[in-house]
Structure 1
């Protein structure tokens, strides 16, 4: 697979062509699937531009560490000993993995994110209602770097811009791959990293990604990513829905119930409603009986 991205040229048909949007609507929101995009190597996604962005973002919006990691890690990985700017500028040899979070904090990247999501807004809102909390993340990885096994609370499309990688996904909502207690911990402030077991690979689904490829990741679908032999740039466009927020709050409510000695039932996956537990958690939060 050619890992060199074409230069960015505004496409009359948009970044997501009609066929990609048709594929998306067939599978969204619960089905992992591959897509194609026409974004190319956008000027805002060049290494120098990304290093500059990283140096502008607040510390809470930057995460970076060594890239020579196992699939499963116990806690946060260690530092690579470099600044974030140096990490990105030398990504081809710094043996690192970096993510720039909430890129919409800057006007130029907010516009890029908005343009991309506007192309599929109608498809999203036809299925899961109003598109809420749009956010963007950029991943910059050294050759062969690993993003360990974890999950995320957003609906997510990962667009590969430069280099290659493979994302391996596992079924969302299946307690074998992430227990109910782990979900509850995450939604009340715990880590996103998950306990890895090699036996999980019998239900793994791998999505190879090169420039122009994209993959959809359902809410809380466990996954890990292994980079290819070149440095890599990927853009993640994410959003929430009322359903995703209800699922999060229902998990948090279950955590409160479990601490009280009860054994709550796991929230339902879309399109099942988790509204009752969601409202219960909001009520507890409002009167200060749990975290905001």
Structure 2
């Protein structure tokens, strides 16, 4: 981790290793191979993880083993491993298409989520942010826009998948979620029991989607849901790209009040739809204290 501080995927890699540690944390490096990883692979399969998701974890292990056999040496100049085992990845033939939620499905799923995860999901479906952008969201990335009476977040490119700074426009519901969390933690917006959350796709999410009868829904589908609703509301392609963080950082660093007003209006266009406003009322009541 110390050697890879520059990687945008560092936080994701850490979360993947945390999932692996209960299965391999007691093993020496020379005991790790594709066979010793198989129990973890089988467990992730049973949890409904896609092959691509499992492969991300296998790639982290493979990278560590390759470094241990090529670059990392002991006090005698010997590499930690004589040779790195071959870590074969799963065939990614089960890639599932996006599954945008209907309003009824959103209500059903969110009702089964624990409070902290419900807030994160509601923020995701109203901003189009990715899992790690939400988990890593910090208060010092918040920027007040007094001329519009609102706030935005500017996520540094080092924390964004495409490497560009990410402008997060807060519609009424997303802003309400943020305000309900203000002051609860000194650095991070979303936390659980006083600590930042590493990932939204956890056991609580898996249980909730099963109870809701939506085993196919992934965290990333919340982003697709926001995009689909923007399109249904008649938001232009370019504005959808900006709101979803797909385009370059031209607006994040040089936006005008007019441009931001247009994006804010577009983001708010998904608020007053059946199923979304009642969810906001529930949050306000539950977290009013």
After TM superposition, is the score higher than 0.5? no
Q: Which TM-score applies when normalising by structure 1?
A: 0.27
Structure with greater contact order relative to length (CA < 8 Å, sep ≥ 6): 1
Q: Which has more radius of gyration?
A: 2
Which structure features the higher share of helix residues? 2
